[in-house]
Chain A
């Protein structure tokens, strides 16, 4: 028996990563836990044609860098999102071009469904182009923070850990990004409308 597997909390991410130092096959457990989450996030940011590559690269980079993993952190999610973010950086231009294309695209056609749902979707649809334009206009660092929160569902502390920046910087980047998004949404006052329709 290795010292690793005799640990009481042997199934934390940290313990699995530790075990994968000796036995790379253990890394499959990390993949199985986080692949769907990371793939979904990458797919949202760079689309189907690049998401595979980005996620594969991120896992391989995580594998190669696993000895640097801070074993005092049982949850590997922020670490993996941080690596994925760095891999996404090389698709920065493509990602921007994608948002620009969305900003130019025609609005969706006829909406169908329960009234309140339609109303929500109308708002969302109206907001789509300015949102895409805003995302295209953000700096990389600001966009990373904003989307890790909005799409990755990371807490501020987790974003700070993922990007290796102080929590205060997460806050200021997020504030700036959200201000840009609000400006882009302009006079439509999404908050009021959105809240009412709920």
Chain B
């Protein structure tokens, strides 16, 4: 007997049974819409805190031109932890790392220019004394963010810079907080007993998903040896390929372009630099970055706070990832993603690819120009505080 031929009585009775179970009004509760849309908007900024698919908006107008007024560089000293800027002897690029000849899965080391900046940045981080931070405390990060988005009219525009205050759990197990000057407030669920809330707006009432704590100011899970950190970035357990999904104007079918393992490692490193602010981790990260093939020096870039700096960059599939450093001290300032000339190097698929899809980009007519901002974040200051929400 086919299902369609069956008499529909049980179903009618069941419908009848379901009638009184319906809500009283025709509309869901009024605050539900706000709750959903607020979570949707906040979701993107959290994408950086918890690894997740990033969305790449269509190109935006250039907000911060390369070579912004030199005066902004004056604000650079606004401290990293303890604000130590000592022990950087001049600004001549250092030679490539001595251990560059060691065989690694990564091949050739970075060019001397980028490598030099990264070595100086590592020295700066190593010279920065760690501050005392207890497990139950929070790392306070004050930052500026610039993001591009496209409005209902389809026109791309740059949002920000927005001042963002983030409290990250020192050991990764406590609930953090993100606020910005638009009034948004989002709790970040800490990873306790290997579980964290699946959703971000009601961590108390949503199901828990497995997690690993991400300490903000410890290095319990992240190696502080550059070689081991490289292995951590090129995670051999992650044997899936990763793709960018590109959608051409007027097309319904996207195509997938594979992201190289080197670009993945560089992007993971940028994410790590946001998640973990321990000087030992940061020093190892900069030394590891110098070993990733294809990393280049860009002598003058501008960060989300308008400060000029030098950047170690890696470009792939039309986006340049930039790690920005202060020109004199080599203190780490922040991270930029900038639209670049488009060159496809990896394999392409028109159907669903065999691996994970990492990010999405919509190609639109004339809207995406090299130099446009995809997103930027820049650290203004950091401090250790006792409670999430407490200012230093």
Residues of A whose CB lies within 8 Å of any CB of B are: 1-7, 14, 18, 21-28, 31-32, 35-36, 39-40, 43-45, 47-48, 51-53, 55-57, 59-60, 63-64, 67-68, 71-72, 90, 120, 123-124, 127-128, 131-132, 146-147, 149-151, 156, 170-171, 174-175, 178, 181-182, 185, 190-191, 194-195
Contacts and interface: CB of A to CB of B under 8 A. Distances in A.
Contact of B23 (A22, A39, A128, A146): A39
B70 interface: no
B157 to A, nearest CB: 10
Instruction: Report the interface size class on chain B.
Output: 35 or more
Contact of A35 (B2, B33, B252): B33
A122 to B, nearest CB: 11
Contact of B154 (A2, A14, A25, A120): A2
B37 A191 contact: no
Given A53-B206, A71-B253, A150 B247 contact: no
Contacts of B11: 149-150, 178
A6 B364 CA distance: 11
B18 A22 contact: no
B9 to A, nearest CB: 4
B65 interface: no
B14 interface: yes
B375 to A, nearest CB: 13
Contacts, number: 192
Given A2-B249, A4-B154, A36-B27, 9 more contacts: A31-B33, A31-B36, A35-B27, A39-B23, A43-B22, A67-B245, A71-B254, A170-B3, A185-B10
Identify the interface centre among B33, B55, B202, B205: most chain A CB within 10 Å of its CB.
Answer: B55
29 contacts: A4-B154, A6-B250, A18-B252, A23-B152, A24-B41, A24-B43, A24-B44, A25-B41, A26-B152, A28-B33, A52-B29, A53-B206, A56-B35, A57-B207, A60-B200, A63-B39, A64-B43, A67-B53, A124-B16, A124-B17, A127-B13, A128-B17, A150-B14, A150-B15, A170-B3, A181-B13, A190-B9, A190-B10, A194-B9
Contacts of B363: 3
Interface string B348-365: 000000000100101111
A40 B367 contact: no
Contacts of B17: 124, 127-128, 131-132
Nearest to B6: A178
Interface string B110-151: 000000000000000000000000000000000000000111
B364 A2 contact: yes
Interface of B: 1-4, 6-7, 9-18, 21-23, 26-29, 32-33, 35-37, 39-41, 43-44, 52-53, 55, 57-58, 149-155, 198-202, 205-207, 245, 247-254, 357, 360, 362-365, 367
Contacts of A72: 252
B55 A56 contact: no
A185 B12 CA distance: 13
3 smallest CB-CB distances across A and B, nearest first, come from: A3-B249, A191-B9, A39-B28
Nearest to A128: B17
Nearest to B204: A53
B37 A18 contact: no
A63 B365 CA distance: 25
Consensus secondary structure, chain A interface: helix
A17 B380 CA distance: 36
B360 A51 contact: no
B201 A3 contact: no
B113 to A, nearest CB: 35
A52 B327 CA distance: 51
B32 A35 contact: yes
A174 B43 contact: no
**Residue of A14, A21, A127 with highest tally of chain B CB at under 10 A:** A21
Given A131-B17, A185-B10, A1 B365 contact: yes
